[in-house]
Structure 1
């Protein structure tokens, strides 16, 4: 998943920095989809959760290493199906991350894409955001919240539906 130009960006030639092109491209696509959907302010944690969840989906669904050359339109259905409500997205991400980590360990090369994807996944799993409680009983007691009851929700659980909706709106 590491892409090189003719001047070598993989760190094997003259100590140059490895460039995580696949991850940066996935993050760019996710960012553009969310900005186009205009669902959240780009400076919000909710936007970041959506961008990271969508970027992980885009990055991990690229099994052929062709991400920078891929046509976004041709991949929308794949991304929609992976981010759908009834899909085990969290399990799929964990399995794909394990596969990529094992592949990278066998190859022994630099893995800047995988490092950035791992950091995004850690943030999505470990960070909780205050969100509306969608399981609250309608008309039930409200404990002082202006917009209804809220609960702490893992960032990926909030970001995944945002990313899915952004794809729909594209």
Structure 2
């Protein structure tokens, strides 16, 4: 499968960047906040198997998935775990990279989100990138919903 273009992931990232711009988010490209927001939105779009046509993008679907941080984290984890066989595809490798960065990034000070899965699954703790990305992604989606994007 060498040379396969990760079209679905690239679409999700580009759409996330477009939503950030349309939502008038203040994060500049190349910043921690921008990457965290883009990765959260891209993962949500990619894992939700969102319709890739501009008319088919349902902001309500994004809003619903992003509404509760712990639910989003558990949903992403279950979707990625369920796709283990497909992890060899370039799309899934890039989604997995974004997921790991969001979970492990420690660029900002502060504790991670509480363990969603319980004490016996302690490896599952989201990093500050997750918190920042989820918060900003919700604001982007809300701005797009109120602006009719």
Q: Which TM class, normalised by the smaller chain length?
A: 0.7 to 0.9
TM-score (norm 2): 0.76
Could you tell which deviates more after superposition, 122-131 or 22-31? 122-131
Larger Rg: 1
**Separation in 2, partners of 1:82, 1:53:** 11
**Separation in 2, partners of 1:117, 1:164:** 19
Q: Counterpart of 1:6?
A: none
5+ residue gaps, structure 1, are: 1-10, 134-152
TM-score (norm 1): 0.67
More strand by share: 1
**Separation in 1, partners of 2:96, 2:69:** 24
1:68 matched to 2:52? The reply is: yes
Residue 38 of structure 1, CA deviation: 2.6
Q: Counterpart of 2:46?
A: 59
Q: Which residue among 28, 33, 38 is the counterpart of 1:41?
A: 28
Q: Counterpart of 1:23?
A: 9
More helix by share: 2
Q: Which residue among 70, 81, 90 is the counterpart of 1:112?
A: 90
Counterparts of 1:100-139 in structure 2, within 5 Å, are: 100-102=83-85, 104=86, 110-130=88-108
5+ residue gaps, structure 2, are: 112-126, 145-149
Residues 91-142 of structure 1: CA distance to partner in whole angstroms, max 9, x if unpaired?
Answer: 110000011223x27xxxx500000000000000000242699xxxxxxxxx
Give the aligned CA root-mean-square deviation in angstroms: 2.3
**Separation in 2, partners of 1:54, 1:163:** 6
- Displaced runs of 4+ in structure 1, greater than 6 A? none
For the 8 Å contact 1:21–1:68, the answer to whether it is kept is no
**Separation in 1, partners of 2:74, 2:110:** 24
For the 8 Å contact 2:16–2:42, the answer to whether it is kept is yes
Q: How many residues matched?
A: 128
